[in-house]
Structure 1
Amino acid sequence: MAAPAPASTALERLRELHTTGKLAVEYPSVPGLLAELDPAGLARAGRLLQRVPVEEIEARHPGTAPVTAALTGHGTLDGLTAPLTGQLARHGIPLRVTVGDHDAWLRDLRDTGSALYAEGTELALCVLDAEVVFGELPVPWRVEDVAEAAAAKLELLGGLVERHAAHAPGTLVLNTLPLLRTHTAQLADHRSRAELGAVWREFNAGLLRLTARHPRLHVVDLDPLAAEGGPVRDTRLAAYAKVQLGEELLGRYAREIGHLVRTLRGRTKKVLVVDLDNTLWDGVLGDDGPDGIAAATTYRGEAFGAFQRVVKQLGAQGVLLAVCSKNDEEPVREVLRGHPDMTLREDDFVRVTANWQPKDGNLRDIAARLNLGIDSFVFADDSPFERGLVAENLPEVALVPLDDEPALHAERLLADGWFDVRELTAEDRLRAGQYRSDAERADLRESAGSMEEYLAGLDVRVEVSPARDHEVARLAQITLRTNQFNLTTRRLQQADVQRIREDGDALALAIRSRDRFGDNGVVGAVFAHRADGALHLDNVLLSCRVFARGIEQAALGALLRHAKETGAARAYAAYRPTAKNARYRDFWTTLGFVLTEEHPDGALSFTHSLETLPQLPEHVALTAGF
């Protein structure tokens, strides 16, 4: 790695790397350079990064998988590829993009031979604007004409979405269409303007509702992005160059696409760790005492209280909350238990770490106790020193740069969509309680005389069966977010899981578990298929929350027994190495599989004769149906 240039800006450093031909070599350092650039800076960085061949980055860094996208639209979109490149590079993802012809969106969506449908295209970006409707109106026009044209356009888009879902491999991305004042002001009476606003919002609502029927469709809502400020477009560029969406709005659109790609790649963060003093409350507890801190009743205190409500909202949707603060522990817990200003309470956090140790070490400890990778953490702190320490020693942790303006805390926390998921599941809403139950399990483990005694006292119950309708989203989520016990790391979207369910020769199994401390929900998945008289185990996944309880042995032992009883001659399995699943390299041999081939990339192939089946763990009560 090259040494950082002294006192240089991120863009200057990027230009230096480009000039010396080292941008591809140093690509892993790019996210750190881009971390705090504004959208305009990211667009400039994107223009530099566009000049680096994606193939060169991929060759030098095999673990850095580019995203392949195809871009089409109605207006001129030349200004979008640079911000897209910069925003994705912020997350360490190179962009390989094909740009369609001007105003070719309809042709591209209809033609299954276009780049939108090409093998390997992960994202089909179709960027539309209001002129796709207003450009077809008669002159003069009335609200009724807009309603008719919008309804026809929505029906057309619905059919094109169906076509894409049936023939394309990737995710189609549409967007809502901003309504401009130059549209509404053409109507002289206020009543007609109100009717037009209602018609337009119904059209955009219809676009958004298409996502409920099509799991591989994503619609970016441009209204909240436009509301962040700045014009939706430059009127002169729209008139002369057909640039219907402005630079600022396209930059924000690119930011949302970066978040979407991270979600599709299974890189959603799981844990939000927050500081306390001047982060969750106004004041310093150690200096000011409980009576001297505020998260209500004062102007600044109210801003901290608003931030707490946002943090609690995230926690209610499956984000694990933890505290990492330089304070004495007992006063912190007393504040969280009883201070009248607090929205967040002790029970909202899965870990409360308050001591005087370096925060990077404390974050490592929290990760170890939760049995989660440190790269699943987001850390929010108002101290540049503490953030710098974490950035230096734990570059995998995402940082939220707070400062002494609490009114901006929530905006800065939400800016990067670190916790975005495709769909919230029942397990997401229960996750915090499940992790708190783990503390009780830990107490039992520490009091037990042996591991056998602990497992016997845990009363583990496992159910294995084909995934039910309401579990499809959860199984897809497991493939995207599980990294340790993920034996082939095949990532699946909901549509992929559904296709497996509908294949008569395939299995998409959900593994559910519970014990004396509560229900863990769906904690694992098995994907398999039958071919040539054999069972092929395509992937097995298990949540890190339930490791070392015999759950996977019970589930797979039952499946192997079922395979033998239904005529399978043998079973095949595989392991594909990643940076995080090395501890399970030899898992298949523990079930009686024999290693048959080791591939050049480190992947392993295994075979089981099904003659001697693995014994099921005695401490597990198993219910299995296939």
Structure 2
Amino acid sequence: MTEGFDRIVAAVAGMEEAARSFSDECRIVFLRNITIEGIDTLLTRNLYAERIRPIVQFGGYGTMVQDVLAADGAAGSDADLIVLALSVDELDASYGSPGWTSHAASAQLEGLFELLASRTRATIAVHSFIGPLWSEQGLIVAAEDRDLTSQTAALNRLVVEAVRRHSPRFVLMDWERYLRRLGAESALDPRGHYLWRAPFKRAFLEVWAQQLARVVCALRGRAKKVLVLDCDNTLWGGVIGEDGLDGIQLDRHQYPGRAFFDFQTTIRQLAARGVLIALCSKNNEAEALDVIDHHPACQLRRADLAAWRINWNDKASNLSALAAELNLGLDSFVFVDDSALECELIRQLLPQVTVMQVPRKLHELPPLLLRDGLFDTLSVTGEDSRRTRLYQDQRQREQLRSAVHSIEDYLRSLETVARIHRADNGEVPRIAQLTQKTNQFNLTTRRYSEQDIRAFIADEDVEVFSLTARDRFDSLGLVGVLVVFIEGTEARVDSFLLSCRALGRRLELAMIARCLAKLREQRGIEISRAEYLPTARNAQVADFWPSVGFSVTGTADGGTRYMRLIDGHAGGTPTFVTIEDD
């Protein structure tokens, strides 16, 4: 490895002491038939930057199946992420011979995919295969797709279909895309391929490590939730207060307006994935919203916006106000502005916010928000597609709240109806998403994948309850989760969490009361145990368990443990919440 890599190794070693204090870790296993040593260091560097401690292990060379099946194999039951690193010529020794087809390699891949899906609980990172750089047919187009390029494409179709079939548990690492980004000279190492079965240069491994870190961040609930945008020279070129509606640069055909048009396309794509869009601009509100409402090339409309602060106040104050309105932490915000001064102000005053400056080269603007995977999740649920509407409904609720005389009157006027029941498989994606993304009302902040939740539901010694709510305005969707482990006549609460948009309604009281009553009636539970594990973001629930009748029994692992006898009285259900039976 080069001297530059030596510096990376030294930097990672220098961070190991601090990494011991990281609250999040991830166990990662590479199953491979090629040499990829070095990627562990690059991946560790990326994850240390996110305050995640990786535990990386390599399987044997070409022993993928054995590593899955063996009781002490590398792909054990505790792996969070299994990464495949495979070469076609190692799967099928006849690769490259005249008339070669991908049938044998395809059969091996399908068998390995199904084995991983059935015998492990991990998320699986598979990859596309890189076809030959030079055609063995020369200028001839081979009949019946019997050339290496066509057969590699067939393998890649198989990989993509497997990812779709097993989504979100399988994720795609697109090696072909990495090659296009880097170029063959920077990505591939033909000499290393022949000497050590090490086909990639460090640049390729670095891009791959970055993509794997994005997967880990998604698994650990690190996705950003809110995109806050300046307007002038960010959503459009020019200054609306000076150039007017017809003078700003926003056009679907001509540069530079096309760059802003395409940037708005990216924003709408993120909104479709459930990212909340907000504006924070020093402007006259009426003029800025006139562009949103009436400019023919503006793709964003008012219905796409969860909130905005368009005024002449400082942007740090406005961002704080947006966070309060949306009831989300500033560490879930990404702020984009063209002004270096404004960007630096936010970095200094609100270091929790991720700040991105509009690039000087406008052709780099459209992919800006996709480059670092800040909003990456492993799935998109029905809740995501209507998230902006849910927050717009919340604005109506706040207007109602200001019109009533007391919080009790307000909560009663909402006419909230809650359905609390044992979770079913159709709710698994949303339940997993809540465990990965909920931080404020989350007593233990344990992150679970869809396969984890499905395993809980199938386990007779685990109860998973969900809470779905609606009110006079609309449905809030699935907003609460309770996971309980049954141990004889005792129930141990593993996870209890509530979406931020359901806070302040006292639905948590209704859920605990209802679920404890069900556990007593249907499972004969006499004692419930629970715990609170503090994080930087869940201090608001530090006293929750005592508030619902639990008593402290001790402390362990930095948390506080509680216990409560479950008698015949459910108690705690607010009178203004109607419980809907299953």
Q: Shorter chain as normaliser: what TM range?
A: over 0.9
- Give the 3-state SS of the residue equivalent to 1:248 in structure 2: helix
Question: Could you list the runs of 5+ residues in structure 2 that have no partner in the other structure?
Answer: none
Task: Measure how far apart 1:107 and its partner are.
Answer: 4.5
- Give the 3-state SS of the residue equivalent to 2:256 in structure 1: helix
Query: CA–CA distance in 1 between the matches of 2:39 and 2:366?
Result: 27
Please say if 1:290 is aligned against 2:252. Answer: no
1:239-293 CA distances to partner (integer Å, 9 max, x unpaired)? Answer: 3332223332222111111110100111111111111111110112233222221
Pair 599,138 (structure 1): closer, same or farther in 2 beyond 3 Å: closer
Match of 2:173 in 1: 220
Please say if 1:156 is aligned against 2:111. Answer: yes
Please tell me whether the aligned partners of residues 350 and 435 of structure 1 are also in contact (alpha carbons under 8 angstroms). Answer: yes
Match of 1:68 in 2: 27
Pair 501,101 (structure 1): closer, same or farther in 2 beyond 3 Å: closer
- AA aligned opposite 1:175: H
Please tell me whether the aligned partners of residues 137 and 146 of structure 1 are also in contact (alpha carbons under 8 angstroms). Answer: no
Match of 2:203 in 1: 248
Q: Could you tell which deviates more after superposition, 297-306 or 596-605?
A: 596-605
- Give the 3-state SS of the residue equivalent to 2:102 in structure 1: helix
1:508-552 CA distances to partner (integer Å, 9 max, x unpaired)? Answer: 111101111111111111111332223332221100111111212
Please tell me whether the aligned partners of residues 161 and 217 of structure 1 are also in contact (alpha carbons under 8 angstroms). Answer: no
Task: Measure how far apart 1:155 and its partner are.
Answer: 2.9
Normalising by structure 1, we get a TM-score of 0.86
Pair 522,41 (structure 1): closer, same or farther in 2 beyond 3 Å: farther
- AA aligned opposite 2:160: L
- AA aligned opposite 1:224: R
Q: What is the RMSD computed on CA atoms of the aligned residues?
A: 2.5
Please say if 1:262 is aligned against 2:217. Answer: yes
Pair 63,148 (structure 1): closer, same or farther in 2 beyond 3 Å: closer
Q: Could you tell which deviates more after superposition, 481-490 or 391-400?
A: 391-400
Query: CA–CA distance in 2 between the matches of 1:518 and 1:41?
Result: 60
Please say if 1:235 is aligned against 2:196. Answer: no
Task: Measure how far apart 1:496 and its partner are.
Answer: 0.9
Match of 2:57 in 1: 98
Task: Measure how far apart 1:484 and its partner are.
Answer: 0.9
Query: CA–CA distance in 1 between the matches of 2:332 and 2:371?
Result: 17
- Give the 3-state SS of the residue equivalent to 1:378 in structure 2: strand
Match of 1:341 among 297, 300, 317: 297
Query: CA–CA distance in 2 between the matches of 1:422 and 1:340?
Result: 34
Please tell me whether the aligned partners of residues 43 and 82 of structure 1 are also in contact (alpha carbons under 8 angstroms). Answer: no
Please tell me whether the aligned partners of residues 136 and 149 of structure 1 are also in contact (alpha carbons under 8 angstroms). Answer: no
Please tell me whether the aligned partners of residues 487 and 581 of structure 1 are also in contact (alpha carbons under 8 angstroms). Answer: yes
Task: Measure how far apart 1:105 and its partner are.
Answer: 4.3
1:370-399 CA distances to partner (integer Å, 9 max, x unpaired)? Answer: 000111111122222222222222222222
Match of 2:493 in 1: 537
Pair 308,138 (structure 1): closer, same or farther in 2 beyond 3 Å: closer
Please say if 1:128 is aligned against 2:82. Answer: no
Alignment of 1:500-515 (within 5 A): 500-515=456-471
Please tell me whether the aligned partners of residues 367 and 373 of structure 1 are also in contact (alpha carbons under 8 angstroms). Answer: yes
1:283-337 CA distances to partner (integer Å, 9 max, x unpaired)? Answer: 1223322222121053100111011011011112210001111212221112211
Please say if 1:461 is aligned against 2:407. Answer: no
Pair 290,159 (structure 1): closer, same or farther in 2 beyond 3 Å: closer
- AA aligned opposite 1:276: C
- Give the 3-state SS of the residue equivalent to 1:78 in structure 2: coil
Match of 1:589 in 2: 546
Match of 1:176 in 2: 128
- AA aligned opposite 1:589: P
Aligned length: 575
Normalising by structure 2, we get a TM-score of 0.92
Query: CA–CA distance in 2 between the matches of 1:598 and 1:116?
Result: 34
- AA aligned opposite 2:158: G
Please say if 1:205 is aligned against 2:161. Answer: no
- Give the 3-state SS of the residue equivalent to 2:262 in structure 1: helix
Q: Could you tell which deviates more after superposition, 76-85 or 426-435?
A: 76-85
Match of 1:15 in 2: none
- AA aligned opposite 1:514: R
Match of 1:115 among 74, 99, 112: 74
Please say if 1:305 is aligned against 2:264. Answer: no
1:129-160 CA distances to partner (integer Å, 9 max, x unpaired)? Answer: 33334x51177430xx3232232222332244
Please say if 1:281 is aligned against 2:225. Answer: no
Please tell me whether the aligned partners of residues 226 and 332 of structure 2 are also in contact (alpha carbons under 8 angstroms). Answer: yes
Match of 1:191 in 2: 142
Pair 128,393 (structure 1): closer, same or farther in 2 beyond 3 Å: farther
Task: Measure how far apart 1:173 and its partner are.
Answer: 2.2
Query: CA–CA distance in 2 between the matches of 1:45 and 1:284?
Result: 45
- AA aligned opposite 2:468: R
Please tell me whether the aligned partners of residues 278 and 404 of structure 1 are also in contact (alpha carbons under 8 angstroms). Answer: no
Q: Could you tell which deviates more after superposition, 508-517 or 248-257?
A: 248-257
Query: CA–CA distance in 1 between the matches of 2:218 and 2:73?
Result: 25
Please tell me whether the aligned partners of residues 44 and 82 of structure 1 are also in contact (alpha carbons under 8 angstroms). Answer: no
Match of 2:560 in 1: 603
Question: Could you list the runs of 5+ residues in structure 1 that have no partner in the other structure?
Answer: 1-39
Please tell me whether the aligned partners of residues 558 and 624 of structure 1 are also in contact (alpha carbons under 8 angstroms). Answer: no
Please tell me whether the aligned partners of residues 525 and 566 of structure 2 are also in contact (alpha carbons under 8 angstroms). Answer: no
Query: CA–CA distance in 1 between the matches of 2:459 and 2:60?
Result: 38
- Give the 3-state SS of the residue equivalent to 2:363 in structure 1: helix
Please say if 1:395 is aligned against 2:354. Answer: no
Query: CA–CA distance in 1 between the matches of 2:425 and 2:561?
Result: 33
Match of 2:483 among 527, 531, 539: 527
Query: CA–CA distance in 2 between the matches of 1:193 and 1:228?
Result: 30
Please tell me whether the aligned partners of residues 19 and 51 of structure 2 are also in contact (alpha carbons under 8 angstroms). Answer: no
1:31-61 CA distances to partner (integer Å, 9 max, x unpaired)? Answer: xxxxxxxxx999676323332373x2244xx
Task: Measure how far apart 1:559 and its partner are.
Answer: 1.6
Query: CA–CA distance in 1 between the matches of 2:40 and 2:485?
Result: 40
- Give the 3-state SS of the residue equivalent to 2:412 in structure 1: helix
Please tell me whether the aligned partners of residues 117 and 169 of structure 1 are also in contact (alpha carbons under 8 angstroms). Answer: no
- Give the 3-state SS of the residue equivalent to 1:158 in structure 2: helix
- AA aligned opposite 2:328: L
1:192-244 CA distances to partner (integer Å, 9 max, x unpaired)? Answer: 48444443223222223323237543331222222223114132332333222
Query: CA–CA distance in 2 between the matches of 1:283 and 1:402?
Result: 13
- AA aligned opposite 1:210: A
- Give the 3-state SS of the residue equivalent to 1:464 in structure 2: strand
Task: Measure how far apart 1:115 and its partner are.
Answer: 2.7
- AA aligned opposite 1:593: F
